[in-house]
Amino acid sequence: MIALTAAKKLPKHEEIRIQLENKMRSDSYKTGSKLPPEIELSAEYNVSRSTIRQALRSLEEKGLINRKSGHGTTVMPMINTEIQKLSSFSEDMLSRGYVPSSKLLDIQLIDAPLHVQEAFKIKNKKVWYLKRLRFADDKVIALQLLYIPPNLPIQLNDLVEMESYYELLESKLNIKVHSATETLSARKAENEEKELLQTEDTVIEFDRITYSNNAECVEYIRGIYLASQYKYQFKLIRDN
């Protein structure tokens, strides 16, 4: 059994960005309220004003704040950041202020299951298969089953050593993830899932098929998440 740890030391401005975002999520900074001036934040976090500006710039790019000269920095509604954002598990956990990690339970070349063949548009070919437990701050969150298309030149060592699959695609193959289709359902934990996720309760199962900028399928992933530890939020817009 091989343990993979995805924790990374974050730049100071990212640490501050996460702390500010967590305060917004917990309503310490409410929607419509003003953030303290840069000079006050600089003193509070004991960093330079340029570091504070970097953190605020990241929050602004995510749509969480609105900065206007002479009017201060206003906290925007959080729901704006939840719509249609495609991210890896590690990216998602880091953005929420948690330290992500993984435990690799199985890795092998297998005959692609029928549903994976259909997604990859292949027949009778072998694909890389990874089974991983995913953690946030050392607390188990999910079981993930990852299938990788046979046309991608990925080696065993790449997969054993990787921290994030999306990062591997971009850094090694220069492939950028663009979009995905995802199907969710709720059910009771079954068989091995009960032991691995330490639950007899409800889980959320999702199947995600992910595509690159060239519209090529780059993964099929099935995730089984603890319903008590994970939630999805959607923004729905009515056409007028």
Check if the beta carbon of residue 146 is closer than 8 Å to that of residue 132: yes
Among 179-188, 209-218, 229-238, the minimum mean pLDDT is found in 229-238
Of 76, 78, 96, 94, give the one whose Cα is nearest residue 235. Answer: 78
CB neighbour burial string for 177-196, b if at least 16 within 10 angstroms, e if fewer? beeeeeeeeeeebeeebeeb
Per-residue pLDDT band for 235 (boundaries 50, 70, 90) equals low
pLDDT average, residue stretch 194-215: 90
Chain segment 2-60, per-residue pLDDT in tens: 444 444 467 899 889 888 988 887 778 887 889 999 999 999 999 999 999 999 998 88
Taken in order of first residue, the domains within the chain and their CATH numbers are: 12-81 (1.10.10.10), 89-226 (3.40.1410.10)
Which residues touch 205 (CB under 8 Å, ≥6 apart)? 184, 185, 186, 187, 222, 223, 224, 225
